A and B are shown apart, each in its own frame.
Chain A
């Protein structure tokens, strides 16, 4: 195919753009960044070899503009495009436009994106590959299908059900229905959300597995028919169907189950001739049975934990595969994790107010460091405004250690070091989560956060004890005192005024 990928246009922003640019630099590949108006000074722009303005802040006027992106690729002489995740990563039209322009799309073929992007078609492929799927309707239910027909199909599938957008993802256009009486309202809401989010009101109905775990298998496929599946990721800690904590390996998966899930994932990928990085998502029920859920035809947010426990670099491999290189990873080793890795997604959201977005100016920031810490961020530092236009993910924090308890302890230590001021983040939620006995014991499923929120009934995740309230009052008073005391003339270091005024006072 493309035996040279020498200059990559990164059609994305934020932490994933930075992560891809870093991989390119390591491989001596030149990089082209694109940016919207508010991203002019973003880290991905400053790290790239070249950078091009592509429009206004709204994604549809910049990061979603296929024509502009292909033009910039041509103009800059890029011979490949990496879409990252989100934005156009699973847009077959973009992959096709790149191919038509003679530019390598670092990802699967447009045909594979089309096929696996349709949830109903993907289910059919999984079944044809002999992989179990969650019971549900086989054909998309368009807007012309009457509610009564949907109700009859829902009865056949069996309550509780999930209504999902055929073109969906990220929890949009998804509704849980436990009683037939609630179906009409949920159907209307799901269709309208599907239409506004994806431009397609078609939905389908699926049985809701009770207390399932979300387990997924990362895989790579090359242009020569080799598929390599990796050790699973456990992604059951979800909020609004968005993952917030992931770990690898799963505390619920035995080596035998891992082999079966990996074989099932590889069978689906092989059947559709899959190339490059992709992930097959499964639901694992309490009895240990698993069901195909969907395929993500892109690099995942949570890919770093797989890299940490297998010692691979998935983005390097994406580029090598796009160059036509053969996968020569040892498949046995990719299914034998070394140690344990956990990732927390640090969002600009207020966990104590129903996880409302909290964009704004970061007034101070110290990120954790030290052994076993991997942090991917898009340049959130003091003085930077987290924009309101994009996903509120400001950083991914991953820790690795020899065992799961130590990876958890290391994550707790890292979160204690993480100091973000000016905006609210999900850090207090994670600090609470890591102390939860069920989480520590690995007793988790996809209902975990909703149950925890209901049980806490609005109590803050980090409750400040009385003693700390005293310390807070003391600190505020000390600052007020320092502000009343003028710094000595010619002072070059106003920050040490406290100590100095104390000394000056003592000399009187």
Chain B
């Protein structure tokens, strides 16, 4: 089985097949023989045979964003998505790297818009505050993902918003 899987914004070519009770997994040309066992529906114990039988517990969990899976490992949490066909999208994550292209700033949690700090046409710097949303007793400043220009402010001060609501567009 061949898959294109994006992990933390980087595309990985993955081949996986069963072989003699184990799994042969090739990621970007690197082959591993893996003893894989399901602990429960979403938690897996992986023992990589070539690697001194290194044992890892891996948990998979949908993030709520379409197609995105959070992969919980001892080293941390990676964000992954299986890409259909060859169509590749620019991924999330990538640490301090700036996002490219048109960026939609969504409400990360339900709350109330208490202040809008920009208007359409404003030039903004990466990490500059755009909107203040109050949730869980705290005022939270949502910041620009990139240097760019605000092309749309789609909420009004005082509005209650659901998680995922489009607030601001930065180009």
On A, residues with C-beta under 8 Å from B are 240, 348, 350, 353-354, 356-360, 363-364, 388-392, 416, 419, 421-422, 428, 457-460, 462-465, 467-482, 484, 494-499, 501-503, 505-506
Residues from chain A with Cβ under 8 Å of B72 in the complex: 419, 421
Taking a contact as CB atoms under 8 Å apart, the answer to whether A476 and B60 are in contact is yes
Residues from chain A with Cβ under 8 Å of B57 in the complex: 419
Q: Cβ of B41: which chain A residues have Cβ within 8 Å of it?
A: 494-495
Given A474-B46, A497-B38, A502-B18, check contact A462 B3 (CB 8 Å). Answer: no
Within 8 A of A (CB), among B87-133: 93, 95-96, 108-111, 127
Knowing that A363-B62, A481-B1 are A-B contacts, what are 16 other residue pairs whose CB atoms are under 8 Å apart, sorted by A's residue number?
A: A364-B43, A364-B61, A416-B74, A421-B61, A422-B61, A458-B127, A462-B75, A464-B75, A465-B75, A474-B25, A476-B82, A477-B3, A477-B16, A478-B16, A479-B60, A502-B22
B71 adjacent to chain A (CB < 8 Å): yes
* Ranked 4 nearest A-B pairs via Cβ: A462-B76, A421-B61, A468-B75, A472-B71
Write out the residue numbers on chain B whose beta carbons fall within 8 Å of the beta carbon of A421.
42, 59, 61, 70, 72
B59 touching A240, Cβ below 8 Å: no
The smallest beta-carbon distance between B20 and chain A, in angstroms, is 6
B86, CB-defined interface residue at 8 Å: no
Across-interface contacts of B16 in A (CB, < 8 A): 474, 477-478, 480-481
Structural contact, A428 and B163, CB atoms closer than 8 A: no
Across the interface, A480 reaches (CB within 8 A) one of B3, B44, B58, namely B3
Give the chain B neighbours of A467 by CB distance below 8 A: 75
* B50 at interface, CB cutoff 8 A: no
Q: Give the residues from 44 to 65 in chain B that come closer than 8 angstroms, CB to CB, to chain A.
A: 44, 46, 48, 56-62, 64
When the two chains form their complex, are residues A495 and B39 in contact, meaning their CB atoms are under 8 A apart? yes
- Which residue of the partner chain B has the closest CB to A505? B18
- By the criterion CB–CB under 8 Å, are B58 and A475 in contact? yes
* Residue in contact with B108 in the complex, picked from A350, A364, A475, CB distance below 8 Å: A350
B169 at the interface (CB under 8 A from A): no
Q: How far, in whole Å, are A265 and B128 apart by their CA atoms in the complex?
A: 43
Q: Are B38 and A464 in contact (CB under 8 A)?
A: no
Bound form: Cα–Cα A496–B45 in Å = 11
Q: Is the CB of A470 within 8 A of B1?
A: no
Chain B residues with CB under 8 Å of A358's CB are 108-109
Distance in angstroms between the alpha carbons of A499 and B34 in the assembled complex: 12
Q: CB within 8 A of A470: which of B28, B39, B60?
A: B28
A348, A471, A502: which contacts B73 (Cβ < 8 A)? A471
Contact check, B64 vs A360: say whether CB atoms are below 8 A apart.
Answer: yes
- Contact partner, B38, options A363, A470, A495, Cβ 8 Å: A495
B-side residues, CB < 8 A to A, are: 1, 3, 5, 7-8, 10, 12, 14, 16, 18, 20-23, 25, 27-28, 30, 32, 34, 36-44, 46, 48, 56-62, 64, 69-78, 80, 82, 93, 95-96, 108-111, 127, 135-138, 140-143, 163
A478 and B61 form a contact (CB under 8 A): no
Cα-based distance from A472 to B9 in the complex (angstroms): 13
Per the bound structure, the CA–CA distance linking A475 and B48 in Å amounts to 12
Q: How many Å from the CB of B48 to the closest CB on chain A?
A: 8
Residues of B within 8 A of A428 (CB): 76-77
Residues on B with beta carbons closer than 8 Å to the beta carbon of A240: 138
- A469 lies within 8 A of B137 (CB): no
Whether the Cβ atoms of A457 and B96 lie closer than 8 Å is: yes
- Interface residue from B38, B93, B135 paired with A498 (Cβ < 8 Å): B38
B18 contacts A484, C-beta separation under 8 Å: no
27 CB contacts below 8 A, A to B, read A350-B108, A356-B109, A356-B140, A357-B108, A358-B108, A359-B135, A360-B109, A459-B95, A464-B77, A468-B78, A469-B12, A469-B78, A470-B12, A472-B7, A472-B71, A472-B73, A472-B78, A474-B16, A477-B3, A477-B5, A479-B44, A480-B16, A482-B38, A484-B1, A496-B37, A505-B21, A506-B21
Q: Among A392, A462, A478, which residue has its beta carbon within 8 angstroms of that of B25? A: A478
A459 to B97, CA, bound (A): 9
Residues of B within 8 A of A354 (CB): 140-141, 143
**Chain A: minimal CB distance from B71 (Å):** 4
A362: nearest chain-B partner, CB-CB = B61
Q: How far is the CA of A474 from the CA of B46 in the complex (A)?
A: 10
Closest Cβ–Cβ distance, residue B147 to chain A (whole Å): 13
Collect the chain A residues with CB atoms within 8 Å of residue B60's CB.
475-476, 479
A468 CA to B37 CA in the complex, in Å? 18
Pick the most buried of A350, A356, A459: most chain B CB atoms within 10 A of its CB. Answer: A356
- Complex Cα spacing A103 to B161, Å: 41
A389 CB contacts on chain B under 8 angstroms = 136
> Chain A contacts of B78 at CB under 8 A?
464, 468-469, 472
List chain B residues, Cβ under 8 A from A356.
Answer: 108-109, 140, 142
Q: Closest residue to A460 on the B side, CB-wise? A: B95
Nearest CB on B from A382, distance (A):
10
| B92 CB → nearest A CB, Å | 11
Closest-CB distance, B110 to chain A (whole angstroms): 5
Complex alpha-carbon distance, A356 and B72, angstroms: 20
**Residue in contact with B109 in the complex, picked from A359, A468, A478, A503, CB distance below 8 Å:** A359
Task: Tell me the minimal C-beta distance from A56 to chain B in angstroms.
Answer: 15
Q: Are A474 and B34 in contact (CB under 8 A)?
A: yes
Docked-complex contact A464 and B135, CB < 8 angstroms: no
> Smallest distance from the beta carbon of B70 to chain A beta carbons, Å?
7
In the complex, which residues of chain A have a beta carbon less than 8 angstroms from the beta carbon of B39?
495
Q: How far is the CA of A8 from the CA of B123 in the complex (A)?
A: 57
B37, B61, B80, B136: which contacts A499 (Cβ < 8 A)?
A: B37
Whether B38 contacts A499 by the Cβ 8 Å rule is yes
A351 CB, nearest partner CB in chain B, Å = 11
Taking a contact as CB atoms under 8 Å apart, the answer to whether B27 and A470 are in contact is: yes
Question: CB-CB < 8 A to B96: which residues of A?
Answer: 457-459
A357 touches B37 (CB 8 A): no
Are the CB atoms of B75 and A495 closer together than 8 Å?
A: no
Chain A, Cβ-Cβ closest to B17: A481
